[in-house]
Amino acid sequence: MTILNGKEIAAEVLTECREKVGTLQSRGVTPGLAVVIVGDDPASHVYVNSKVKTCGELGIHSRKIELPTETTQEEVLQVVRDLNGDPAIHGILVQSPPPPHINEEEIIRLLDPRKDVDGFHPVNVGKLVMEDESGFVPCTPQGCIHLLEKAGIETSGANAVVIGRSMIVGKPMALLLMGKGVNATVTVAHSRTRELAAVCRQADILVAAIGKPGFVTADFVKDGAVVIDVGINRVEDSSKKRGFRLVGDVAYDEVAPKCHAITPVPGGVGPMTIAFLMSNTVKAAGG
Ligand code: NDP
């Protein structure tokens, strides 16, 4: 069984980004990423800080825009309009989830698709469907595919099952897996899927993007499968200083022994997401 080390593979992606930033800078361009966060969701603030920190390590200019929970929809839209028109900013992301009174979809639609480094704007979703590489691919599924490639996993003709159909993970993941180059045969499962464990047992490659700690147990997994655990869930743990620990959607201890390869949580998909955010930002700046 191989543990797919996302930290290590992400570090290689970041090294490539750093080199491209150097080349851009020698042409007088410093890539710039704006991160907008509305409200005080603690996990979101952790993600945003880690994105900003990684920008600093690569020489990417970052601007963190923190807005209070009571910010109106129109105020957020105005921030996005200003960033769309700001030549120092090549990438914009609005951290999810915003407070409930904010309409996230309207904000995404307002983004300049050329600055939409999360790949959520309809233009970029369309380009992903069309396999037009000029678009931006959502960072998490892009990272998962890269992990599979780097680990030398044979995807062509493989049966892949993706649990989850969100716009952020499940749907783009399924599209990438079925794409030309990757060539898997894909099943997308969700909360209405019947006989979910039996469906998952068909998978040579099983991707879990559900948001439920330890949901995928050993009976979901065929011997020798590759398991990609996208889930990041906080579970209470009084032995930890912060009072919780992070676990995936996969019951790692019982599933790992059955696998050919598996991603751990933390240290699997998470670092890949940030690495491909940086990669998309460099691409947005022309790198
Ligand atoms: P969503 O809540 O948007 O989607 C969850 C999906 O899981 C839905 O499609 C839902 O089905 C499906 N689901 C829920 N319950 C079941 C069930 N009992 N059986 C089968 N399917 C079920 O979550 P996201 O896609 O945004 O995120 C998923 C997980 O990935 C979360 O833990 C999140 O924190 C993590 N994540 C990690 C990232 C990383 O960098 N590693 C980045 C982004 C997310 P239905 O559509 O029918 O409701």
Ligand 1 centre to CA of 70 (Å) is 27
Q: What is the pLDDT of residue 232?
A: 97
Dihedral, CA of residue 206, residue 211, residue 215 and residue 221, to nearest 10: 0
The pLDDT mean for the chain works out to: 98
Q: What's the gap in Å between 212 CA and the centre of ligand 1?
A: 8
Q: Which atom of ligand 1 is nearest to the CA of 169?
A: 25
Average pLDDT of the segment spanning 58-69: 98
Q: 63: closest CA among 41, 42, 83, 33?
A: 33
From CA 90, how far away is CA 228, in angstroms rounded? Answer: 31
Confidence bin at 38 (pLDDT 50/70/90): very high
Q: What is the mean pLDDT of residues 79-89?
A: 98
Give residue-wise pLDDT tens across range 103-117. 999 999 999 999 999
Position 46 confidence tier, pLDDT thresholds 50, 70, 90: very high
Q: Which atom of ligand 1 is nearest to the CA of 272?
A: 40
Distance 144 CA to ligand 1 centre (A): 15
From ligand 1's centre to the CA of 210, what distance in Å? 3
Name the residue at shortest CA distance from atom 4 of ligand 1. Answer: 166
| Lookup result for tokens 């040579």 | 204
Q: What percentage of the chain reaches a pLDDT higher than 90?
A: 100
What are the pLDDT digits (tens) for 111-166?
999 999 999 999 999 999 999 999 999 999 999 999 999 999 999 999 999 999 99
| pLDDT confidence band for 50 (50 / 70 / 90) | very high
pLDDT tens-digit readout, 219-258:
999 999 999 999 999 999 999 999 999 999 999 999 999 9
Query: Residue 51's pLDDT is what?
Result: 98
Q: What is the pLDDT of residue 287?
A: 95
Cβ atoms of residues 244 and 233 within 8 Å: no
Is 20 annotated as catalytic?
Answer: no
What's the confidence (pLDDT) of residue 190? 98
For the question of residue 25 being annotated catalytic, the response is no
Would you say 228 and 208 are in contact if contact means Cβ atoms under 8 Å apart? yes
Looking at residue 278, its pLDDT comes to 98
Q: Which of the following is catalytic: 115, 116, 118, 127?
A: 118
Q: Is 231 in the pocket of ligand 1 (CB under 6 A)?
A: yes
| Gap between the Cα atoms of 252 and 248, Å rounded | 8
Q: Is 95 a catalytic residue?
A: yes
pLDDT of residue 63: 98
Query: Is the pTM of the predicted complex or chain greater than 0.95?
Result: yes
What is the C-alpha to C-alpha distance for residues 232 and 213, in angstroms, rounded to an integer? 8
Q: Is 264 in the pocket of ligand 1 (CB under 6 A)?
A: no
- What would the pLDDT profile of 19-34 be if each residue is shown by its tens digit? 999 999 999 999 999 9
